[in-house]
Structure 1
Amino acid sequence: MILLGDMSRTDENLAQGSPSGSRAPWLRTAEGANLLGADGHLGVTIFEEITTLAVRTGAINLGQGFPDEDGPDLMREAARDAISAGANQYAPGKGIPALREAISDHQRRFYGLTPDPETEIIVTTGATEALAAALLALTGPGDEVLTFEPFYDSYGAVIALSGATHVTAPLLAPEFQPDLAALEAAFSDRTRVILVNNPHNPMGSVFTREALTRIVELANRHDAIIITDEVYEHLTFGVAHIPVATLPGASERTLTISSAGKTFSLTGWKIGWMSGPAELVAAARTVKQFLSYSSGTPFQAAVAAGLALDGSFYEDLANTLQRKRDILSEGLRAAGMDVFTPQGTYFINVDAAPLGVTDATALARRLPELVGVAAIPVPVFCHPEGAERTKSLLRFAFCKRVDVLEEAASRIATLKDRL
């Protein structure tokens, strides 16, 4: 973390919040996202810090998870056509009809789900807004939100902003599947939401049917809502993605979230969506309309065209990513690290302990200078106990061109000698 210096007196007053002493929302958000040091100083995200180091040193940045190749020509041309045709004003708050219908058809084609485009689907400014709208709509002080740990940093931020308590259950090496006993122990009668990220970022695991079924059973026992983040649904390698909403006892209590960014390599378009029971979607939409209201009108039409692509597109996407995964894996193994081969997403994790490294965060800050490659330390995705458990783990992104990954693998292979 890069510290921004002492907080001013004004900042200190803001941090105190109301006269009753409650913490200001921005401060809760920063704390939930692990942006506060032990002394309370405010820092930047680890992504910004590592990217800055990569730029300064000219390193290959495998820290942030965004592709370096554009998405399908068909979709980019559709966006240009929509702009030329005048689709440049506000879209309906719940999304243009063509995209909501395409989302419904996609869910039917791949999973047998049939959400109503009128009442059970909304389009959002990326999956991030969908998650924020759902959590802010459904949770608050006195509630608990349960996630797996490590967890994507925005989860902690929004849970804290909502005023709910963030509870975690661990994903343990080497498979990074849910620890079912720990999961059951983490549930309580205060559990309002369990947030399931599957396929999982940062760990690259794809949860088994057994694990997902147990999640649904426990959610029913404790009358909890299930929110699923499935943005990597088509990025799996040799295993099938199982949407939670397809499991018995899940559909009536599950909000499913996904987006175009990861599937189509168009992360800058920020087009996401949410589907589920009409009453839960309506609750989230009530909050969402006062966040962005709507966004990306011409991009929505283009995403509708993309979702209609046939199954071969999705198969080729996964096969290409699997090849990229394997290229980077070779370099990581050659460096002497333990490699946890991911079943999904475009992230691969390693344990640097065999190199005598006990602090992955310190190593991440040295990597750009040492070997010209940047990565993210896994402990930043954890609360203190989880950070200790994952203290020697690093995450690399392999959603880059093959030539870039080959060069990165070659550089990483020299790490053992450079250390």
Structure 2
Amino acid sequence: MSPTTPRFPSRLPNVGTTIFTVMSALATQHKAVNLGQGFPDFGCDPKLVDGVTAAMQQGHNQYPPMPGVPALRQAIAAKIEALYARPYSADAEITVTAGATQAILTAILCCVGPGDEVIVLEPCYDSYVPNIELTGATVVRVPLTPGSFRPDFDKIAAALTPKTRAILINSPHNPSGTVWSPEDMRRLDELLAPTNVLVISDEVYEHMVYAPLRHESVARYPGLAARSFIVSSFGKTYHVTGWKVGYVAAPAALTAEFRKVHQFNVFTVNTPMQYGLGAYLQDPAPYLQLPAFYDAKRQLFREGLANTKFRLLPCEGTYFQCVSIEDLAVPERDLPEADFCQWLTREIGVAAIPLSAFYGDGFDQKVVRFCFAKRDETLREAVGRLERL
């Protein structure tokens, strides 16, 4: 008798292959323009690569300190203070992470356990819910307002209980491109002030907010900052998503708990990339110019889509554009969003992501998401194909 693999109960029985993997594979199979998964199809600044190469050549190839290379943590703290007027201690309040996804998981693991409740605002990034489920806590889903994707604070207030341990927020918001306003942040601050609820603030698109708006980091709001883990990503900011380097800023007491988990799930992060990023951060121009860089791509893509029957939803931030498919003159518009996206990839040659993938119940609004972090010629090619609809 041949050996058998032992059976065990799945920790994530409802999780399969992510929609991003499915759609990217389908795009490759059908040679479609991939506007689904959120990554650029262009390179980063050669100076950044040169900085990493120099770090390798200088011998920075062994383990760095567990919280991150000091020069990088100091640069992160300086950036946050310059942008949001809040000082963080590079030694005690900044931790370099293996991307934002690891940062979010670690933040949840360090403070959430069985019996706790954690609020997520749907639609939300697909790692949030599995991360919470791994702790044995209960996920409490609160919908953002359909259509506008604004936070509904009456519903958030109703979801708060003595068991609520944390709330995850995300601005600029993936997938909708909505940006929280100063009033939104003040409302959240007031709502949480009498509670012990922690905030995990996913701010990976912080440098992609379009005028006249600005990014409202929780760091700007003392009451929120005192209870928050702020998560950001160099991969998003510097067009190097494959490097998987991010960071968390949090008060010292929260950081101490965060690092207890961090040291045992990754311990530390790629050394030469940390040195390269630390040197590159000394010049703020690349991230200060990023809103204008992506705004030009946003305008190019939106102007192109204006010649189609897709109905454009507002895009205040991120590099994602959501559209309604209800007015398309094809029968496939009546398909569920996920089926429509597969048809669009196979038959039209453009890959998108269904918004229903970001809801636990698959809520279908006839809305799909495109990524415009692409070369201009890629966007023009995609629009040319979409004009056939």
| Smaller-chain TM-score bracket | over 0.9
| Cα deviations by residue, 1:129-170 (Å, 9 ceiling, x for unpaired) | 111111001001111111211000011110111111111222
Choose the corresponding residue for 1:185, options 141, 145, 158.
158
Choose the corresponding residue for 1:130, options 103, 109, 113.
103
Q: Where does residue 388 of structure 2 map in the other structure?
A: 414
Structure 1 residue 338 displacement after superposition: 1.4
Choose the corresponding residue for 1:369, options 338, 346, 353.
346
Q: Where does residue 8 of structure 2 map in the other structure?
A: 14
Choose the corresponding residue for 1:313, options 286, 294, 299.
286
| Cα deviations by residue, 1:335-392 (Å, 9 ceiling, x for unpaired) | 31211121111011111122243511110111112211000101011011xx32x441
Choose the corresponding residue for 1:335, options 285, 289, 308.
308
Determine whether 1:143 maps to 2:112.
Answer: no
| Cα deviations by residue, 1:273-315 (Å, 9 ceiling, x for unpaired) | 11111110110110011111112100001111232223x4334
Q: Where does residue 58 of structure 2 map in the other structure?
A: 85
CA contact (8 A) 1:321 1:399 kept: yes
Q: Where does residue 5 of structure 1 map in the other structure?
A: none
CA contact (8 A) 2:99 2:233 kept: yes
CA distance in 1, matches of 2:289, 2:247: 23
CA distance in 2, matches of 1:378, 1:370: 20
CA contact (8 A) 2:51 2:280 kept: no
Q: Where does residue 260 of structure 2 map in the other structure?
A: 286
| Cα deviations by residue, 1:77-113 (Å, 9 ceiling, x for unpaired) | 1000001111111111100100010001001111111
Q: Where does residue 226 of structure 2 map in the other structure?
A: 252
Q: Secondary structure at the match of 2:306?
A: helix
Determine whether 1:96 maps to 2:69.
Answer: yes
Q: Secondary structure at the match of 2:90?
A: coil
Which structure features the higher share of helix residues? 1
> How many pairs were matched up?
381
Higher relative contact order (CA 8 A, sep 6+): 2
Q: Where does residue 86 of structure 2 map in the other structure?
A: 113
Q: Where does residue 40 of structure 1 map in the other structure?
A: none
Choose the corresponding residue for 2:11, options 18, 25, 28.
25
What percent identity do the matched residue pairs reach?
39
CA distance in 1, matches of 2:101, 2:359: 19
- Structure 2's unaligned 5+ residue stretches are none
CA contact (8 A) 1:347 1:395 kept: yes
Q: Secondary structure at the match of 1:118?
A: coil
CA contact (8 A) 2:12 2:133 kept: no
Q: Secondary structure at the match of 2:312?
A: strand
Q: CA RMSD in A?
A: 1.6
Q: Where does residue 395 of structure 1 map in the other structure?
A: 369
Q: Secondary structure at the match of 2:265?
A: coil
Q: Where does residue 197 of structure 2 map in the other structure?
A: 224
CA contact (8 A) 1:327 1:409 kept: no
Q: Where does residue 18 of structure 1 map in the other structure?
A: none
Choose the corresponding residue for 1:171, options 130, 136, 144.
144
CA distance in 1, matches of 2:302, 2:5: 49
| Cα deviations by residue, 1:192-248 (Å, 9 ceiling, x for unpaired) | 001111111111111011111111222223310111111110111111001113214
> TM-score under structure 2 normalisation?
0.94
CA contact (8 A) 1:196 1:227 kept: yes
CA contact (8 A) 1:328 1:409 kept: yes
Determine whether 1:243 maps to 2:217.
Answer: yes
Q: 2:171 is aligned with what amino acid?
A: N
CA contact (8 A) 2:120 2:167 kept: yes
Q: Secondary structure at the match of 1:325?
A: helix
CA distance in 1, matches of 2:195, 2:336: 38
Q: Where does residue 272 of structure 2 map in the other structure?
A: 298
Q: 1:397 is aligned with what amino acid?
A: C
CA contact (8 A) 1:328 1:408 kept: no
- Structure 1's unaligned 5+ residue stretches are 1-8, 16-23, 36-42
